Amino acid sequence: MNTNFKSPIVILANGSFPNHSIPLEILESAGTVICTDGSANSLEDLDLMPHVIIGDMDSFKETKAEFKGLKIHDPNQENTDLEKALDWAVMNKIQEITILGATGLREDLAMVNHYILFHYYDALKLEMVTDHFTITCHRGQKSFDAFPGETVSLITQRFGTVVSTTALHYPLDNSILDPSTLAVSNKSLGDTFSVNASEPILVFRGHPER
């Protein structure tokens, strides 16, 4: 990893700016903030400055504040600015990233951003944190820290995914899970739970009530 990039590393996408205390604390404690194009405007409104700005620069507004970080103009229209940022992170051997601001504003981009996790889960350790959930993607067996009653939703990408869980209110035992709503709004029974999936699966973990 390039030593100029201090951990923890956050990508701020150009969706709704975080409002919940959990993503806000992640942003405030970030060692490196990578903005996708116009999300840099939101940071400047808070008198914060990103370390890196990546995108086609179609929504980034130059202001009187002098940007001293790294600006990467990528005009490619075949991928999104979030994909540009993640590709750049992989190229720079960054291993772990938290994505903020990936939902809200445009429903089409919010859905696409969730699918992006399927595409990069084996290249980066990724967490997407919204005002409601922490979202990860994995394949195989994985355990999660939790709290009793935490909302847990599972969404697959591929038909015929075999899923088993432990410590959830509605257990799955070698169940066939297709892309559907069948595994939405489950609940954790305790301080941990696990999900074993034969194919990549999104795991949504709800934030505690404020």
154 CB contacts (<8 Å, ≥6 apart)? 163, 165, 172, 177, 183, 184, 186, 195, 197, 201, 202, 203, 204
Q: What is the pLDDT of residues 46-104, one digit of tens each?
A: 778 899 999 877 666 666 456 778 889 888 888 899 999 999 999 999 999 999 999 99
Peptide bond into 8 cis (omega under 30): yes
Q: Strand, coil or helix: what is 152? A: strand
Q: How many CB atoms lie within 10 A of CB 206?
A: 18
Q: What is the pLDDT of residues 194-210, one digit of tens each?
A: 999 999 999 999 999 87
**Which of 131, 160, 186 represents a domain boundary (last residue)?**
131
- Is residue 156 located within the same domain as residue 103? no
Q: Which of 76-85, 106-115, 143-152 comes out lowest in average pLDDT?
A: 76-85
- Is residue 92 located within the same domain as residue 142? no
- Would you state the pLDDT for residue 63? 62
Measured in Å, how far apart are the chain's first and last C-alpha atoms?
A: 36
Element (H or E) spanning 177, and its range? strand 175-177
- Is residue 117 located within the same domain as residue 167? no
Instruction: Provide the CATH number for the domain around residue 181.
Output: 2.60.120.320
Domain contains 24? yes
Residue with more model confidence, 22 or 47? 22
- Is residue 103 located within the same domain as residue 80? yes
- Is residue 67 located within the same domain as residue 53? yes
Instruction: Provide the CATH number for the domain around residue 90.
Output: 3.40.50.10240
> By residue range, what is the domain housing residue 51?
9-131
23 CB contacts (<8 Å, ≥6 apart)? 100, 129, 130, 131
